[in-house]
Structure 1
Amino acid sequence: MNRLYHMPLSPFCRKVRLVLAEKRIEVELVEERYWERDADFMRRNPAGKVPVLRMDGRIMAESQAICEYLDESFPDPCLLPGSPAERCEARRLVFWFDDKFHHEVTSKLLYERVNKKVTKSGYPDSRNVKAGATAIKYHLDYMGWLLDQRRWLAGDVMTLADFAAAAHLSCLDYISDVDWNRNAAVKDWYAKIKSRPAFRNILADQVPGFPPPRHYANLDF
C-alpha cells in the first residue's frame, strides 16, 4: 500500500495529495509529527520534513520531486505541459508559490497562527502576521493579473502550478486569511479547482483546536 507521511495543513503535503488524487492513486495517509524528530521518520527523510511518500519500494521526499515523479510515472492526466516553454512557466509558478508566497505569506500567517501552537514552539509574532496579511494582497492581485490573460495560472490548461497555488490558499482559507472578494477572477479560479474530486479529502480535513470557517468546504462560496 502506498503511504504518504503528511500534516493536514501543510501546503506541500496538500500539493502532493492533490496530484495523487487527480491521478487516482490510492494512498494511506499517516500524520507525522515531524517536529518530534522520531528516529524512524528521520531515517525516511534525514531533512526531517514532510511530505514523504513510500511507493513501489521507494521512499521519496520533497514535494516537487515527488510531484514530478508522479507526473512522469503516471502521465494521465499530465500536470506539466508538453512544450518546454509551457513547462518552464508552470515550474516557475510552482516555485513562486512554494518559495516566494510561502516565505512572504504562508509562513507569516499559517505558521504563526497554527504551527506554533501545534508544535508548542511559542506564540504568534504580530509583526509577522501583519506582514503576511499585507503581502497576500499583492499575491492575489498578481494571480488576478495572470487569470485575466489565461484560463489557468500557467496557461490554457490546468497544471501543477494551479495545485501548488491552491494548496497554499486552501490552508490559509482554513484559517480565514484569504479575502476572496479582492479579485473576482481568483475567486472563480479557486471555486473551479476546489470543486474537483481531487479536492474532496482536503476539504474534509479537521485540525483539533482549529475549526474551519463555514465557507471552507462550500463549493459555491
Structure 2
Amino acid sequence: MNILYHVPLSPFCRKVRLSLAEKKIEVQLVEERYWEPDADFLRRNPAGKVPVLKLDGKFFSESSAICEYLEEKYPEPSLLPQDVETRFEVRRLVSWFDDKFHREVTANLLYERVNRKIHESGYPVSANVKAGAKAIKFHLDYLAWLLDNRRWLAGDAMTLADFAAAAHLSSLDYICDVDWNRSEAVKDWYATLKSRPAFRSILADNVPGFPQPNHYSNLDF
C-alpha cells in the first residue's frame, strides 16, 4: 500500500499531494504528529519532517525531491517541461515559494495562527502575524506580475511551480489570510487550479479546531 505521511495544512505536503493526484497515483493519507516523533517515524525519515512518501515499499522524504522523483518515474502528465530554460524557471519558482514565501509569509501566518495552538506552544506572536500580513501583499503582487506576462507561473503550461504556489496559498486561504481581490489575474489563476480534480482532496480538508471557511471549497469563491 502506498502511503503519504502528512499534515493537512502543510504546504510541503500539499505540493506532494497535488503532484500525486495529478499523476493519478493512489496513496493512503496518514496524518503524522511530526512534532511528537516516535521511533517508527524517525526510521522512515531521520530528519523528523513531513511529508514522507511510502511508494512501492520504499520511503522518500523532502517535498521537492519527492516531486522530482515522481516526475522521473511517472513522466506523464509532465510537471517539469523539457525546455531547460523553462525547467530552470520552474525550479526557481518552487524555491521562491518553499523558501522566501514560506519564511516571510507562511511561517508568520499559518504557523503562528495554527501550529502554535496545535502544538500547544503558546499564543501567536503579533509582530510575526503583522509581518506576514504585510509580506503576502508583495508576493501577491509578484504573482500578478508573472501572470501579466504568462499563462501560468512559469510559462505556457501548468507546472510544479503552480502547485508549489497553490500549496502555500491554499493553506493560508483555509485561515482566510489571502486577499483574492488584490489581483483578478491571481484570483482567476487560483480558481482554475482549484477546479482541477487533483485539488479535490485539498478542498476536502478539515482541521479540528479550525472550521473550514465557507469560501474555501467554493470553486467560484
Partner of 1:170: 170
Q: Does 1:217 align with 2:200?
A: no
Corresponding residue SS for 1:37? coil
Cα offset for 1:4?
0.4
Partner of 1:197: 197
Give the Cα separation in 1 of the matches to 2:121 and 2:37.
14
3-state SS of the aligned residue for 1:59?
strand
User: Runs of 5+ in structure 1 lacking a partner?
Assistant: none
SS class of match (1:53): strand
Task: Please give the alpha-carbon distance, in whole angstroms, between the structure 2 residues aligned to 1:15 and 1:2.
Answer: 17
Q: Secondary structure at the match of 1:181?
A: helix
CA offsets 1:102-140 (integer angstroms, 9 cap, x no match)? 000000000000001101112100000000000000000
Whole-angstrom CA distance in 1 between matches of 2:95 and 2:58: 25
- Whole-angstrom CA distance in 1 between matches of 2:47 and 2:188: 37
Aligned to 2:97: 97
Structure 2 gaps of 5+ residues are none
Counterpart of 1:156 in structure 2 is 156
Q: How far off its partner does 1:57 sit?
A: 2.0
Mapping for residues 11-160 of structure 1, pairs under 5 Å: 11-160=11-160
1: distance between equivalents of 2:70 and 2:199?
Answer: 17
Secondary structure of 2:82's counterpart equals coil
User: How far apart, CA to CA, are the structure 2 residues paired with 1:130 and 1:145?
Assistant: 24
**Pairing 1:185–2:156 present:** no
Aligned length, in residue pairs: 221
* Distance in 2 of aligned mates of 1:37 and 1:28: 20
Superposed displacement of residue 39, structure 1: 1.0
Question: TM-score w.r.t. structure 1 length?
Answer: 0.99
C-alpha distance in 2, partners of 1:187/1:66?
Answer: 28
**Amino acid paired to 1:112:** E
Query: How far apart, CA to CA, are the structure 1 residues paired with 2:71 and 2:119?
Result: 32
Identity of aligned residues (%): 76
TM-score normalised by L of structure 2: 0.99
Across the aligned residues of Structure 1 and Structure 2, the Cα RMSD in angstroms comes to 0.5
Counterpart of 1:36 in 2: which secondary structure?
A: coil
1:53-101 deviation digits (Å, cap 9, x = unpaired): 0012211000000000001100110000111101000000000000000
- Tell me which stretches of 4 or more aligned residues in structure 1 moved more than 3 Å: none
Letter in 1 for 2:153: L
Q: Distance in 2 between matches of 1:45 and 1:122?
A: 27
